[in-house]
Amino acid sequence: MKYTVAILAALTMFTIAVPAAEPRTWPADSAYQLEATLTDQDGRAQSLDVYAGHSVLVTMFYSRCPATCPLIVETLRAIEQATPAAQRTQLRVLMISIDPEHDTVAALSALAKTRRIDTSRWTLARADAADVRKIAAILNIQYRLLPNGEYNHSNVITLVSPSGEIVRQSSVIGRVDQDLLAALGP
Amino acid sequence: MTTKDANGRDFRKGRSVALALLTSVVFAPISFAESPAVAPRAAIPGGTFESVLPPAPGVKAVTVAPFELDRTPVTNGQFAQFVRENPKWRRDRVARLFADERYLQHWRTPTEPDDTVERQPVTHVSWFAATAYCEARGARLPRWYEWEFAAAASETRADARKDDAWRQQILDWYSKSARGRLPDVGQTPPNFYGVRDLHGVVWEWVEDVGAMMVSGDNREQGDPDVKRFCGTGALSMEQKENYALLMRVAMLSSMQARYTSNTMGFRCAVDGAARKTSRVSAE
């Protein structure tokens, strides 16, 4: 009996350990193949596939941005609102900062509060500068630090499939992009 | 007996073998194969200069902090070593997300280039692969301003950009066909800082290639647009006499991070000593 338990325990460990050790296999063009470390607004370490299994709207931003940041949040919210209820509950939002120097966990947390962001379905995240560049490269987002400390960057909302593939990108900000909405549809 | 190899590095063959044998008893894990008499990276003091890409409208000066730059581009031989150590970067295993179909296509096998190209700069590498190589070596890709700063030097002057003869020499290379065989690295004379091959061999990836298309005008926030680059010049590029650099900017701007090309290689850089210290203390 003792041995059976030991063997069972060993088997269980084995079956659990093997998939954990092997990286998950994603489609060849899945963004989730990138090993990047994100830290969310609550200080938790996450990976880029934090919302794997869900459709995700991904955008890159920086919280000090005077004008467009609030607009991006409102645009994402508007897309969410416009999505049919059945899909809406499955939809997730991932906002990744391009400004690791200023967008600390505390700054992201404060932003989540001021913008009343529901962090059960949205994640605000930071990453170190090297990972930010890689994520931006995969999403084909260009950004540049200006001498005055602001960033110039492409405002792009990317719809990512449950397995990490880029489904559609939209640079429409300030209203709901109907084509993006259609891509989200059933 | 001291000779010089293609990099201009002194190598004392007989002596270093004897030394390695002797020392390997004491310091077994340390390899002397990679310990050239000249450090593989040159120290660049940094400073303030005018770039072809002004950082913002009305702002001309760019300040580059001290850094160290590889004296020569990374070779096929060096990259093969990296690929053998990191098999996920083999051409038959790499994720398409990180490198296009032509990645390392010129190699004989997924882990071996032909002997004849061993000392040629590696090309057909994506930005992701170049970045991974530098990271594995505890380094990073140089940033554009760093690259441009180092590349402004002739053999004798830190900033030779106003020297017509030097500029013509560079233009001559750009006008040559890209179809010929690539030279081995280290064949061009070292510049003021001891860096070779910045001109005349290959294009080179930079860390911030994704920033080069973006306008420095924050009134155009959130609207970097390729069309403006092609039309009136989003980056309001200045010093238009520097065609060679502008071609390089155009080439880099046309590359996505997963693209590879038979003329695009890279070299690595690290922060200068002073900066490293301040980074550590900031963290």
pLDDT by residue (tens digit) across A127-168? Answer: 999 999 999 999 989 888 888 888 888 889 999 999 999 999
Averaged over B63-85, what is the pLDDT? 98
- Please report the domains of chain A, with CATH numbers, ordered by start residue: 28-183 (3.40.30.10)
Rounded to an integer, what distance in angstroms lies between the CA atom of residue B130 and that of residue B135? 9
Q: State how far the Cα of B260 lies from the Cα of B62, in Å rounded to an integer.
A: 29
- pLDDT of the residue at B236: 52
> At residue B25, does pLDDT exceed 60?
no
Q: What is the complex's ipTM, to 2 decimals?
A: 0.84
| Minimum CA–CA partner of A140 in chain B | B256
Residue B212 DSSP label: T
**Terminal CA-CA length for chain A:** 52
If one counts every other C-beta atom within 10 angstroms of the C-beta of residue B51, the result is: 22
CA A113/CA A27 separation, integer angstroms: 36
Instruction: Report the residue of chain B nearest A26, measured CA to CA.
Output: B95
Contact A33 B215 (CB under 8 A): no
Q: Please state the rounded mean pLDDT for residues A61-88.
A: 90
pLDDT the model gives residue A128: 96
B50 Cβ under 8 Å from any chain A Cβ: no
CB A48 within 8 A of CB A36: yes
Tell which of B218, B235, B249, B279 to mutate to test the A interface (max A CBs under 10 Å): B218
- What is the residue-wise DSSP string for B226-243? HHHHHHT-TT----TT-H
What confidence tens digit (pLDDT) does each residue in B85-136 have? 999 999 999 999 999 999 999 999 999 999 999 999 999 999 999 999 999 9
What's the pLDDT score for residue B219? Answer: 47
Q: What is the pLDDT of residues A89-131, one digit of tens each?
A: 999 999 999 999 999 999 999 999 999 999 999 999 999 999 9
Report the Cα A178 to chain-centroid distance in Å.
21
In which band, very low, low, confident or very high, does the pLDDT at A15 lie, cut at 50, 70 and 90?
Answer: very low
| CA-wise closest residue to B123 among B54, B173, B185, B165 | B185
Q: Is the pTM of this model over 0.80?
A: yes
Is A121 or A7 the better-scoring residue by pLDDT?
A: A121
Please choose, from the candidates A9, A156, A173, the residue with its C-alpha nearest in 3D space to the C-alpha of residue A78.
A173
What mean pLDDT value characterizes chain A? 88
A107, B98 contact by CB (below 8 A): no
Q: Which of A170, A58, A41 is nearest to A112 (CA)?
A: A41
Edge-to-edge strand list for the sheet holding B269-271: B41-44, B67-70, B269-271
